[in-house]
Amino acid sequence: MSQSGRRSSIKLTARGAIALALLSTFLGYVLAALTGWPSLVGVVFLTGSVLGVALVNPRELLTVVVTPPLVFFCGTLVVELGTALGSPSIGQSLLVGLFTALSAGAPWLFAGSAAVLAVAMRRGLRDNVRDLREELRSAAEVPRPRREQVFAPEPEGYFEPRVYGTPRDGA
């Protein structure tokens, strides 16, 4: 068989796909700082997320589909924390920077999540969801043994006060 007839043999784990999306987010921030185009963050994040879901093993699609918002937030948090460390008020600078960066990146985040979902649907996400439902359903149907006694009783006289010796007269 010729090399052109084969499909790509590069397969990532879910961790690898998530790491690829996170590194692409960092790369986007670096490129945006160097070029002065803030939209590069979103474009590179979108590209990394779609590439990650395209290369992940099909059985791990469900994990990769739900992570783009968390990955984008974590990448933005690290970048904004690094930026805020040089300011006089770290907390205020971090909060304002996070709000601004997440607001500016929201359209790219939604586009990235939708693109990842679309690619995952084509790669078999429905099968993963079906398998998860069957697994959860079969786990719920396992009968649990009933216990007749809910608690273990304490030994006789455990909470009863003990009187040692005999009472004294006149004392």
pLDDT value, residue 7: 57
Residue 153 in any domain: the answer is: no
Residue 150 in any domain: the answer is: no
3-state DSSP percent of the chain in helix, strand and coil, to 5: 70, 0, 30
Residue 151 in any domain: the answer is: no
Residue 46 in any domain: the answer is: yes
Residue 160 in any domain: the answer is: no
Mean pLDDT throughout 106-130?
91
Mean pLDDT throughout 19-25?
93
Higher pLDDT, 100 or 4: 100
pTM of this structure: 0.70
Tens digits of per-residue pLDDT, 33-86? 999 898 899 999 999 999 999 999 888 888 899 998 999 999 999 999 998 998
**Residue bearing tokens 């003990």:** 162
Is residue 163 packed enough to be buried (19+ CB in 10 Å), middle (13-18) or exposed (0-12)? exposed
Give phi and psi for 143, each to the nearest 5: -70, 140
Q: Identify the three-state secondary structure at position 15.
A: helix
Q: What is the largest CA-CA distance in the chain?
A: 110
pLDDT value, residue 138: 83
Q: Can you give the residue range of the structural domain that contains 98?
A: 9-140
pLDDT class of 2 with cuts at 50, 70, 90:
very low
Overall number of domains in the chain: 1
Residue 100 in any domain: the answer is: yes
Residue 152 in any domain: the answer is: no
Residue 147 in any domain: the answer is: no
Residue 162, both tokens? 């003990």
pLDDT value, residue 167: 63
